[in-house]
Amino acid sequence: MAIATFGAGCFWGVEYFFRQIEGVTAASCGYMGGDDKRTTYEQVKQGNSGHAEVVQVEYDEHRVSYEQLLAVFWSNHNPTMLNMQGGDIGHQYRSAIFFYDQQQKAAAEQSKLALARSGKWGMRQIVTEIVPAMPFHRAEEYHQNYLKKNNLPSCHLTY
């Protein structure tokens, strides 16, 4: 199994979209990108931990490619919004791709460039950061599969 990690605003909706993909064997809400060794939702929510809300995706590379996961990432949030998605505002809701190797980095950069050249977002700049993966901190259990557990629709706007 391979691992990919994405930040695209509130992790509940991001997790929901990745769980729908055939070949994704697990999707976990968590935190990445900050300085703290251990963190909690309350610390991240306050916006001073440096972490982003992220989803770590475990996937079978024989059934789904990293490029397909990138396509899901790009199509389910607004990558031109700096430090926010919808009503969620702050650095913890930033658009980010955390890469684990040079192949993921290259694929992420290529897909970001292709999206920018596509004209989908007009003249707006794609602000998604592409950065090395850091330690993943799994979110508290009540956040895992939150929308399904609470019989809620996706909290993400689709673009």
Question: Annotated catalytic sites, by residue?
Answer: 10
Spatial neighbors of 92 by CB under 8 A, at least 6 apart, are 44, 45, 47, 49, 51, 52, 53
Token output for 132: 């090395």
CB-based burial, 118-138: b 16+ in 10 Å, e otherwise: eeeeeeeebebebbebbebbe
Query: Taking a C-beta distance cutoff of 8 angstroms, is the pair 149, 43 a contact?
Result: no
